[in-house]
Structure 1
């Protein structure tokens, strides 16, 4: 069977015996010779041709070689045989024979490794280098292909050889092979240097190689990947590399930039594509919009929005809702209204997902009346679906409008709809914000018995908030401990109750628990430290305050400067604590001085216990607190709208400090203006010296 196979598949010994007869005779007689000693016409051909009829099997060829080795026969065996053990023995015999093997022998051996023995490719390449055999990209690419076939792929070995060999393999094919190996091995980040090599060695980058580079940037998911993505755009901009009108490549470059929060670079890519007359696809716009909305970069998202809409592209509803929600979270009313008008123009207002998102966003931005208008208009046109009812209940709940939330809940049931756990969440948060434990228990009973909806982790968070407000910290801690998987939000709610009721001993126990929880975000860490430091400061334990501050430093938790976003009809303005605008604007400083005087006359007293750093005098403490961003924002409103009675609307991404909460209550009284402020925990509505939260947040 072997002989029959050999006859049909190989070109072997007969050719060798006939075409190289004189050479064989000399070998038989023991006269060694090199290939140069044989006339060109008698050398064993590098390529086997169909007219070379076989007479010996592959095993017989190997046996002949072991007795009478020649580089020509070795090359033929490497090309034809797939028996790993036999071929490796032939290869070892060749090296031991002292014959001068060159690239014509090592290349077929490397191709054999690629076929049958990929782990030996590295050894063959090293042997070739040791014998000063020139390594071209054919040899190197065969080696890299062999490394790709190992399990796992031998990227590091191949990369080390690539760096060692240098320019001869820094060709298009060599770089392409290495990039494919890097991706197969999951080592894209380590191979990003290939992009620089292609540029430095003037490699003409093909579309396939450019697409590979872009994919490597995405798969690297690193700062270096984003750097290379920016470099690719630069090479395209300067005509060093053709873009091939390849939108998949552009999409991957943009994706790599967005992964590393290179927001402006991603936006700039839109302008570059327009300049190149390669209009960005809807996919690219959707990626940018989604990424920016996710991190609340609303102003930059609107740049993409305003570039996308005139092109006639339709924005997908999930992306649209993501942008709407982001505008609501950061209380950017102008972008929210712009997107709202887009929805009207596209006849999307009957879509319950879009409508419910707008309802929630307007409420989050402090424009509850707009949310109510949308809800009422929809109710007049048709019966809202469950998600719209839940959005309105949640909007009322976050504002502490319990009775309004109950009215919508009754409307939901009258429409024949079945409430969900989200319905219960909206009702419980409303109860929590007004401290109505009795009504909360009624809802829990109704949802359990009538609707078969048990309480979940989010519901427990609101219950902890309720009991904390009432001072029942034992129940708070018990509820938090009963959760099978500890939840950071619940334990922060317990810690908030401890701060409100000055239970320092319990707070220390809870704080220690918080620090042991997994997967805590930086804002949650900062919130926990701020609550604990506030408790220590009120207790006069400055050493403990300093200890926690040092702990924050060693953990890399740098407390961010307090920032407040002031919403105006046409724009939003950001202020930070001790804002530079305060120091640069005499008019703002004058109005700030007037505000602080009027607050003091109304009974406001700075809470010096909240100062984290010891100050020498009470005046210094008052001065420090007066420069918090909320107070500067209100002073700015006094400057630009001195005779206006419109509500003041502000938003913070952090928890409002107790001193500012007290100051804003007095400001609502002395200015005779409603003040809406949304912080990390809830919506505050200040009217005539009182807050809707009942001084618990």
Structure 2
């Protein structure tokens, strides 16, 4: 009778009864692997145990268990074997690593050394990966040393590639490069590992040099090589080389490869070419979660938040589940647009996917609520995080800063020591902003001094600008000017910050002294010209105003109109000063007149100092009545007259002093909180008072 290996022709038990295991054991084991039958493997193991077969056969049986996906049965048999071949050790270690059971792999490696068995090149190529995955640099270095002692040369491409990958993941690029140089015949895996390492360390030129060397040596790049080098180009905003590599991708036939296409999309968005990113995205047939997330993040980074939200909705409709990075990007889009209701819906999705305690989503939620003026919710999210890091603390401090809670921001800043967190440049910028908005001049000066002496923090122009603003608003204008002169080549932002402070205090002498210097730095900057014009107008120097405005006309510079928008019943309404185009204009004017009469009873007197035009007093008063924030609030009061919820308005410029006083009294008249976000910060008006304490 002719036997066949197919189980349906001759039963497995029949083969065993025919002593087929005695004559063709390896074939029978292979049959089990082909059919993925763990039960039949166990039957073979039982016969082997009874018959006392060789260790080699046991090794093959362990390998069969691993290939059938039963690592537990393989390990059990492995532990029962009095002796194991090096191949079996390597198979077990490799299987643990591929199954993400890294600790077990390292445990087996240690057991191998303890039992006096020397690892070979296959052992080392696996175990180096395990050490990098678990973050065990010291053990990885010791294993490297052992490989040298045992004569397992790093020049071997498998060992060399694994070592380069390990050192690259630890950021030890000098060691990675030294190992790579020892490998005689480098392959694409080694080159790619080196490029990935340099890209992660933001060493773009080094990554490009490796890529060029690889091409020169005739090694063909794969899609992961292209993906990695594109990341390097994106990080350095190197559009020229990015486009060249795009051409190579097309030439090499990887235009439809997901990894390289996703990196290509990201590279274009980081270089500011978001439309090119969208074109690349359209070429995807079935974009995965990483691709969707990369696109959404790029849109948010390039100020295309509304498009990002549209793409997110499409992603959900396509049944692609978002991760914490996707959701954090979408939340930042909502924060930038101050879309509180939409942000709350995203918060619900975050909770649905169990990511509400994730540090990335958490930081984005804190940022959302802070930028929408809801510090209470921001703090609830912060307190509920299981892992607090510098990013989430920075988000919370910034939330406090924007909303004028200076004391709370300083308290959290002090708590960072207890949390074993080291403040970074963003932390100090946020806490200085908090001191700015709360008027904590002495505290801000102390923190700034500590940055220069006690902390390993590089002072940026933003830090100096914050301090200039803090000193300037406190009336310490000369100190602010001295501080600017300490900066090497101060830019227009610093001088413009000082000009803003001069306007607050009506200081013209300093302005006359620095005006020409500022205009030289910002010859075509409309913001600086507008600021100078407003400053001279507020002090009644109309000749200088005419001079500035004439120069603006010659340079074709235009002032951004003051705009305020309000969200009522999930519909955004936008208002501009003196604009008469709203369809409900009559109701708005009637409500506005009613509010003006009521606040006048409470003591409101129009402050015509904030009218920056040469008009008579009556016309100045009338122009104040039709500021954009007054129109927006009047509309919201009329539209929601039967509600007691807060009114939220958003303005693109700084709120003027007259409107600030008017809104305080309106909050008392309508008995509702009015939350206003201007270009600088939030104001919470309630019962005739403002959270800023009239310091803004």
Query: Which TM bucket (shorter chain)?
Result: 0.5 to 0.7
Q: Cα–Cα, structure 1 residues 658 and 671, in superposed 2: closer, same or farther, change >3 Å?
A: same
The residue correspondences of 1:599-614 to structure 2 (distance < 5 A) are 599-614=599-614
Alignment counterpart, residue 313 of structure 1, candidates 313, 317, 320: 320
1:532 alignment partner in structure 2: 532
Alpha-carbon shift at residue 684 of structure 1 (Å): 2.1
Alignment counterpart, residue 489 of structure 1, candidates 480, 484, 493: 493
1:646 and 2:653 are equivalent in the alignment: no
1:416 and 2:415 are equivalent in the alignment: no
Alpha-carbon shift at residue 318 of structure 1 (Å): 5.1
Local SS of the residue matching 1:483: coil
Alignment counterpart, residue 434 of structure 1, candidates 417, 438, 450: 438
2:578 alignment partner in structure 1: 578
1:667 and 2:666 are equivalent in the alignment: yes
Question: Is the Cα–Cα contact under 8 Å of residues 649 and 676 in structure 2 kept in the other structure?
Answer: yes
Alignment counterpart, residue 520 of structure 2, candidates 497, 513, 516: 516
Alpha-carbon shift at residue 252 of structure 1 (Å): 8.8
Alpha-carbon shift at residue 315 of structure 1 (Å): 4.7
Alpha-carbon shift at residue 640 of structure 1 (Å): 1.6
Normalised by the length of structure 2, the TM-score is 0.57
Q: Cα–Cα, structure 1 residues 595 and 262, in superposed 2: closer, same or farther, change >3 Å?
A: farther
2:588 alignment partner in structure 1: 588
Tell me, in whole angstroms, the C-alpha distance in 1 between the residues paired with 2:568 and 2:325: 28
Tell me, in whole angstroms, the C-alpha distance in 2 between the residues paired with 1:488 and 1:281: 44
Local SS of the residue matching 2:566: strand
1:363 and 2:367 are equivalent in the alignment: no
Tell me, in whole angstroms, the C-alpha distance in 1 between the residues paired with 2:564 and 2:333: 16
Structure 1, residues 104-155: CA drift from partner, whole Å, max 9, x if none?
xxxxxxxxxxxxxxxxxxxxxxxxxxxxxxxxxxxxxxxxxxxxxxxxxxxx
Tell me, in whole angstroms, the C-alpha distance in 2 between the residues paired with 1:592 and 1:280: 51
1:693 alignment partner in structure 2: 692
Question: Is the Cα–Cα contact under 8 Å of residues 400 and 430 in structure 1 kept in the other structure?
Answer: yes
Question: Is the Cα–Cα contact under 8 Å of residues 494 and 510 in structure 1 kept in the other structure?
Answer: no
Tell me, in whole angstroms, the C-alpha distance in 2 between the residues paired with 1:576 and 1:682: 20
Alpha-carbon shift at residue 602 of structure 1 (Å): 2.9
Alignment counterpart, residue 467 of structure 1, candidates 468, 471, 477: 471
Tell me, in whole angstroms, the C-alpha distance in 1 between the residues paired with 2:265 and 2:353: 31
Question: Is the Cα–Cα contact under 8 Å of residues 293 and 325 in structure 2 kept in the other structure?
Answer: no
Alpha-carbon shift at residue 631 of structure 1 (Å): 0.6
Tell me, in whole angstroms, the C-alpha distance in 1 between the residues paired with 2:266 and 2:578: 37
Q: Cα–Cα, structure 1 residues 418 and 406, in superposed 2: closer, same or farther, change >3 Å?
A: same
Gaps of 5+ in 1: 1-218, 222-243
Structure 1, residues 540-581: CA drift from partner, whole Å, max 9, x if none?
222322332232233332222221122346344332223445
1:336 and 2:343 are equivalent in the alignment: yes
Alpha-carbon shift at residue 463 of structure 1 (Å): 1.8
Alpha-carbon shift at residue 418 of structure 1 (Å): 2.4
Tell me, in whole angstroms, the C-alpha distance in 2 between the residues paired with 1:526 and 1:599: 36
1:156 alignment partner in structure 2: none
Tell me, in whole angstroms, the C-alpha distance in 2 between the residues paired with 1:620 and 1:281: 61
Q: Cα–Cα, structure 1 residues 423 and 267, in superposed 2: closer, same or farther, change >3 Å?
A: closer
2:132 alignment partner in structure 1: none
Alignment counterpart, residue 376 of structure 1, candidates 378, 383, 401: 383
2:21 alignment partner in structure 1: none
Tell me, in whole angstroms, the C-alpha distance in 1 between the residues paired with 2:450 and 2:541: 46
Local SS of the residue matching 2:603: coil
1:325 alignment partner in structure 2: 332
1:199 alignment partner in structure 2: none
Tell me, in whole angstroms, the C-alpha distance in 2 between the residues paired with 1:549 and 1:343: 50
Structure 1, residues 29-76: CA drift from partner, whole Å, max 9, x if none?
xxxxxxxxxxxxxxxxxxxxxxxxxxxxxxxxxxxxxxxxxxxxxxxx
Tell me, in whole angstroms, the C-alpha distance in 1 between the residues paired with 2:265 and 2:371: 34
Question: Is the Cα–Cα contact under 8 Å of residues 251 and 283 in structure 1 kept in the other structure?
Answer: no
Tell me, in whole angstroms, the C-alpha distance in 2 between the residues paired with 1:582 and 1:345: 40
Q: Cα–Cα, structure 1 residues 635 and 262, in superposed 2: closer, same or farther, change >3 Å?
A: farther
Gaps of 5+ in 2: 1-236, 240-254
Tell me, in whole angstroms, the C-alpha distance in 2 between the residues paired with 1:280 and 1:386: 33
Q: Cα–Cα, structure 1 residues 566 and 281, in superposed 2: closer, same or farther, change >3 Å?
A: same
Question: Is the Cα–Cα contact under 8 Å of residues 538 and 612 in structure 2 kept in the other structure?
Answer: no
Tell me, in whole angstroms, the C-alpha distance in 1 between the residues paired with 2:340 and 2:425: 29
Normalised by the length of structure 1, the TM-score is 0.56
Question: Is the Cα–Cα contact under 8 Å of residues 566 and 574 in structure 1 kept in the other structure?
Answer: yes
Alpha-carbon shift at residue 375 of structure 1 (Å): 0.8
Local SS of the residue matching 2:685: strand
Tell me, in whole angstroms, the C-alpha distance in 2 between the residues paired with 1:322 and 1:580: 37
Q: Cα–Cα, structure 1 residues 598 and 279, in superposed 2: closer, same or farther, change >3 Å?
A: farther
2:355 alignment partner in structure 1: 348
Structure 1, residues 137-181: CA drift from partner, whole Å, max 9, x if none?
xxxxxxxxxxxxxxxxxxxxxxxxxxxxxxxxxxxxxxxxxxxxx
1:137 alignment partner in structure 2: none
Q: Cα–Cα, structure 1 residues 281 and 595, in superposed 2: closer, same or farther, change >3 Å?
A: same
Farther-moved stretch of structure 1 (426-435 vs 340-349):
340-349
Tell me, in whole angstroms, the C-alpha distance in 1 between the residues paired with 2:530 and 2:604: 23
Alpha-carbon shift at residue 445 of structure 1 (Å): 4.8
Tell me, in whole angstroms, the C-alpha distance in 2 between the residues paired with 1:543 and 1:446: 45
Alpha-carbon shift at residue 364 of structure 1 (Å): 1.0
Question: Is the Cα–Cα contact under 8 Å of residues 265 and 294 in structure 2 kept in the other structure?
Answer: no
Local SS of the residue matching 1:413: coil
Q: What is the aligned-residue RMSD (CA, Å)?
A: 3.9
Tell me, in whole angstroms, the C-alpha distance in 1 between the residues paired with 2:265 and 2:495: 41
Local SS of the residue matching 2:417: helix
Alpha-carbon shift at residue 594 of structure 1 (Å): 1.2
Alpha-carbon shift at residue 293 of structure 1 (Å): 2.2
Tell me, in whole angstroms, the C-alpha distance in 2 between the residues paired with 1:260 and 1:429: 28
The residue correspondences of 1:382-401 to structure 2 (distance < 5 A) are 382-401=386-405
Question: Is the Cα–Cα contact under 8 Å of residues 488 and 514 in structure 1 kept in the other structure?
Answer: yes
Local SS of the residue matching 2:416: helix
Structure 1, residues 77-96: CA drift from partner, whole Å, max 9, x if none?
xxxxxxxxxxxxxxxxxxxx
Question: Is the Cα–Cα contact under 8 Å of residues 565 and 573 in structure 1 kept in the other structure?
Answer: yes
Question: Is the Cα–Cα contact under 8 Å of residues 667 and 689 in structure 1 kept in the other structure?
Answer: yes
Tell me, in whole angstroms, the C-alpha distance in 1 between the residues paired with 2:266 and 2:576: 32
Local SS of the residue matching 2:489: coil
